[in-house]
Structure formats: structure tokens, C-alpha cells
């Protein structure tokens, strides 16, 4: 058989036949999840179409993350409809308000395994490629269709291979690597393609860093983004008590790649994506004195324990600037509990930050940090489109957790590697 990329390998298994890039095939996913902002539509579609039985209830999960706790009666009713539907149809997983963001929960609990094909009605499902899953987003009608039929059409993506070299320097984050890729190649680099991150630098990135890179794969246009399963993946699953088959999520030698790109991690500096596009990227220290009103630390891109540690380290013994507010939203309850255990939450509160319920938080622009007219936010999330954080008259800069924390303290965007100089 022809050597296959990870994407071709996983889709071949899901389609029950050998698949190569650009084939349109019908696939049966291992999982099909949805989140609270889509569940109401899925249920309504089923009712309207006369669907009474689900094809795969044991492979379905519903996550309350986009507006949890509910910020309105309508959203609370969506949660209620989801709970009742899950109970009526024997849906395997219902993740309650406060448990966290779907992608974070999937990885940190080992819900999904390397080599799985996973759908979720959320564009950042690419995050799951960090553990070798083919994770990709679906719309509401598609999700309703999969829940009813257990399968759907998919176009097998060509793959772009990004070879990582070296190691990130101090004060530089996987987020800066994402922003560097966006700066160098633009937001259309991988439209309708898969990305495989590989090379000697991959081993230097932990699961958290891999999640950030795969998460922002969708900002490069990718359908899905992978790290091949390796010893980092095995260690992650072993700690959770699972043994995995890494071969399910590894490419064949000689697989065909549509494009090859090299990224030297050691050459990357702190970056910011300036308003209003994700690829309007510049070095963080090149922006002059951009004053900010809000700093947001959270999201499926950068709301993990590793991110909170970096921020708390910068905030320790300091206070955020006058007139600035800092909103911290851990990506899951597991992260929140661990951050409390480590004293990170106490440090951040002492510095003047506020901590919210775990979930998507301010990123989706629905609650917990919506911006005011003319305001400027620096955010560790993944999107700065006009209107993204709930106000078309506000501006969003995207940056790493370190840059977000250093900015909150300074009141304007500094280079986090030079924070001592900036602060005193």
C-alpha cells in the first residue's frame, strides 16, 4: 500500500478503505462531541427531521463551556435541553458547568486516544492533534447528522509538514511559535490541509505546548494539525493509567507531503498579533507604547496549568497597572484545583487579577470579560477578529501568557524577556 500521512492513515481506518489526499469519503468517527452553543440547534434539527434514535450515544459527549454558568435565560435553557437530551438518549458524557473547555477535558482525562477520528462542533477541535488524534470541527447540521447516522462525508486533506528545530528560548512560548508561523506564512497557509509537526524540536515541546500549536492550526486554515504520537504522548497517557498504540498516529516513511516548512524554535522572539487579523503579527517589543484596558489569560489556546505558572511567576510580588483589569479563566476545573494547590491563584489575586469559572470565558465574546467601546485587550486566546470579544469597537492583541502577564503589570505591551527593565 502507498505510504500514508497520519491524516490518510486515520481516515483510511474510519472509511474502511485506503484513502489518499483529496478523496471524498464517508467516515465513521470514533467520537462526535458538541458544546453548549450548538446543542440547542442539534436537538431542534433532530426534532424537525423526526430523528428518534441516535446511532452512537456511547461515543457522544456534550460540554457546557461557552457560557457556563449561564449568562442568560436562553443559554441556561440550552444547558437544560442538553441535560435532558443526554438523559433521554443515553448519551455517554455530559460535562457540567465549570468542568472546563471540551478540548482540554478530552486531553487531560484521556477521553480520546491517539489515532482516533474526533468531531466536535467547535473549530478549535484541531487541539486534539496534540495527542495524535484527527480532531476537526463540524457545524450544527453536520453534528446532528453524525449523531443520527454515525457517519458523514469528508474530504481527505493533503498534508503540510512543518519540521521543528531547536528549543524555545526563556520567556518564549509555543504561542509565539504559532504567531511566528502566521507572520511568515499568513492565515491561508493550510486552507483545507492537515499539518504534521515533526522534527528534532518536537520532543522539546510538552503536551501543553503541542496543544497550543495544534489549536492555532485552525488559524492557519488547517482542517486538523498533528504531532505524531511519541514518548511524550506515551508519558502523558501512562500518567493517566492508559497504554497506547503509538503506531495508530504515526506517518509512514515516504508519505507524500504537499509542502515542507522548517521552523527554528530557538530563533523565535515574543510576538503579538495586532488588530484585527491573526496574521497581523509583529515582534512584541516593536509596538511602541500600546496601552491596554484588559488582560485576558485563558482559553483552549493558553489556559493551562503551565500558562498559569508562567503568569504567576511574572505577577508574584507585583501588582497589575492602575486602570487595568486582568481576567484569568483556567481551561478546566482540574487546572483550577492544581493552580490553587500550587498557590498560583493566590499569587494572581494578590497581584490584582480576578479568577473566573473554568471554561471558554471572554474568548468567545459572550460573557466574563466582554470589552467596552474603544477598549484594548491583550489576550492569550487565538482570535482577534473585529467583534470577537463581543464589541466591534474594541481591539484585541494576541500574545503568550508571559506577554499577557507582563503587559497587565506594565499597562502597555512590553517584551516579557525584559520585564525587569520595564517594570522598575
Residue number with CB closer to another protein (388 or 419): 388
Residue number with CB closer to another protein (83 or 167): 83
Q: Using CB under 8 A as the criterion, which residues of the chain lie in contact with another protein when the complex forms? A: 24, 37, 40-41, 44-45, 48-52, 72, 74-75, 78, 121-123, 136-142, 144-145, 148-149, 152-153, 187-188, 191-192, 219, 221, 223, 277, 364-366, 383, 385-388, 390, 392
Cis geometry, peptide bond prior to residue 249 (ω within 30 degrees of 0): no
Q: What is the DSSP letter of 24?
A: E
In angstroms, what is the minimal distance from the CB of 203 to another protein?
30
Residue number with CB closer to another protein (242 or 385): 385
Residue number with CB closer to another protein (34 or 104): 34
In angstroms, what is the minimal distance from the CB of 43 to another protein?
10
**Any residues with CB less than 8 A from the CB of 127 and at least 6 apart, and which?**
103, 104, 107, 135, 211, 214, 215, 300
**Cell numbers at residue 271, please?**
510576538
Residue number with CB closer to another protein (31 or 237): 31
Q: How many CA atoms lie within 13 A of 18 on its CB side?
A: 4
In angstroms, what is the minimal distance from the CB of 4 to another protein?
20
Chain length of the chain: 424
Residue number with CB closer to another protein (67 or 94): 67
**Any residues with CB less than 8 A from the CB of 118 and at least 6 apart, and which?**
29, 30, 31, 32, 33, 106, 112, 125, 128, 133, 134, 135, 136
What is the dihedral angle through the alpha carbons of 161, 105, 371, 70, rounded to the nearest 10 degrees? 150
Alpha helices in 130-223 (DSSP H): 140-149, 174-185, 207-215
Residue number with CB closer to another protein (38 or 233): 38
In angstroms, what is the minimal distance from the CB of 377 to another protein?
14
Residue number with CB closer to another protein (305 or 364): 364
In angstroms, what is the minimal distance from the CB of 412 to another protein?
26
In angstroms, what is the minimal distance from the CB of 320 to another protein?
27
**Cell numbers at residue 141, please?**
447540521
In angstroms, what is the minimal distance from the CB of 388 to another protein?
5
Q: What is the DSSP letter of 386?
A: T
Residue number with CB closer to another protein (48 or 420): 48
In angstroms, what is the minimal distance from the CB of 328 to another protein?
21
Residue number with CB closer to another protein (146 or 311): 146
Q: Which of 261, 400, 341, 359 is nearest to 65 (CA)?
A: 359
Cis geometry, peptide bond prior to residue 353 (ω within 30 degrees of 0): no
Residues 102/65, Cβ–Cβ less than 8 Å: yes
Instruction: Give the integer Cα–Cα distance in Å for 243 and 37.
Output: 34
Instruction: Give the integer Cα–Cα distance in Å for 284 and 288.
Output: 9
**What sign does the CA torsion over 378, 380, 384, 387 have?**
negative
In angstroms, what is the minimal distance from the CB of 282 to another protein?
17
Residue that has been written with the C-alpha cell 528549543 in this structure: 167
In angstroms, what is the minimal distance from the CB of 283 to another protein?
22
On the 0-12 / 13-18 / 19+ scale of CB atoms within 10 A, 293 is: middle
Amino acid at each position: 500500500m502507498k505510504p500514508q500521512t497520519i491524516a490518510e492513515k486515520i481516515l483510511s481506518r474510519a472509511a474502511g478503505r485506503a484513502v489518499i489526499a483529496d478523496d471524498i469519503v464517508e467516515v465513521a468517527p470514533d467520537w462526535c462531541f458538541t458544546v453548549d452553543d450548538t446543542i440547542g440547534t442539534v436537538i431542534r434539527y433532530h426534532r424537525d427531521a423526526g430523528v428518534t434514535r441516535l446511532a452512537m450515544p456511547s461515543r457522544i459527549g456534550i460540554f457546557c463551556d461557552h457560557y457556563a454558568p449561564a449568562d442568560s435565560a436562553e443559554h441556561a435553557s440550552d444547558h437544560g435541553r442538553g441535560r435532558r437530551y443526554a438523559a433521554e438518549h443515553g448519551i455517554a458524557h455530559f460535562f457540567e458547568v465549570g468542568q472546563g473547555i471540551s478540548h482540554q477535558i478530552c486531553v487531560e482525562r484521556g477521553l480520546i486516544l491517539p489515532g482516533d477520528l474526533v468531531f466536535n462542533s467547535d473549530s478549535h477541535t484541531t487541539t486534539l492533534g496534540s495527542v495524535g488524534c484527527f480532531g476537526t470541527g463540524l457545524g450544527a447540521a453536520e453534528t446532528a447528522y453524525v449523531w443520527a447516522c454515525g457517519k458523514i462525508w469528508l474530504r481527505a486533506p493533503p498534508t503540510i509538514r512543518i519540521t521543528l528545530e531547536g528549543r524555545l528560548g526563556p520567556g518564549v512560548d509555543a504561542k509565539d511559535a504559532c504567531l511566528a508561523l502566521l507572520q511568515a506564512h499568513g492565515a491561508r497557509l493550510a486552507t483545507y490541509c492537515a499539518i504534521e509537526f515533526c522534527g528534532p524540536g518536537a520532543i522539546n515541546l510538552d503536551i501543553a505546548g503541542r496543544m497550543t500549536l495544534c489549536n492555532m492550526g485552525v488559524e492557519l486554515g488547517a482542517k486538523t494539525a498533528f504531532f505524531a504520537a511519541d514518548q511524550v504522548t506515551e508519558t502523558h497517557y501512562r500518567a493517566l493509567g492508559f497504554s497506547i498504540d503509538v503506531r495508530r498516529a504515526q506517518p509512514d516513511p515516504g508519505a507524500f507531503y504537499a509542502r515542507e516548512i522548517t521552523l527554528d524554535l530557538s530563533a523565535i522572539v515574543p510576538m503579538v498579533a495586532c488588530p484585527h487579523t491573526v496574521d497581523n503579527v509583529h515582534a512584541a517589543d516593536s509596538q511602541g507604547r500600546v496601552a491596554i484596558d484588559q488582560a485576558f489569560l485563558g482559553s483552549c489556546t493558553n489556559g493551562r496549568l503551565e500558562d498559569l505558572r508562567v503568569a504567576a511567576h511574572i505577577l508574584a510580588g507585583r501588582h497589575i497597572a492602575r486602570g487595568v483589569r486582568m481576567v484569568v479563566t483556567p481551561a478546566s476545573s482540574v487546572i483550577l484545583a492544581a493552580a490553587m494547590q500550587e498557590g498560583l491563584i493566590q499569587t494572581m489575586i494578590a497581584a490584582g487579577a480576578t479568577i473566573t469559572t473554568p471554561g471558554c470565558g471572554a474568548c468567545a465574546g459572550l460573557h466574563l470579560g466582554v470589552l467596552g467601546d474603544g477598549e484594548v485587550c491583550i489576550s492569550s486566546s487565538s482570535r482577534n477578529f473585529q467583534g470577537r470579544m463581543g464589541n466591534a469597537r474594541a481591539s484585541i492583541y494576541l500574545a503568550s501568557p508571559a506577554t499577557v502577564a507582563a503587559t497587565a503589570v506594565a499597562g502597555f505591551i512590553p517584551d516579557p524577556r525584559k520585564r525587569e527593565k520595564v517594570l522598575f
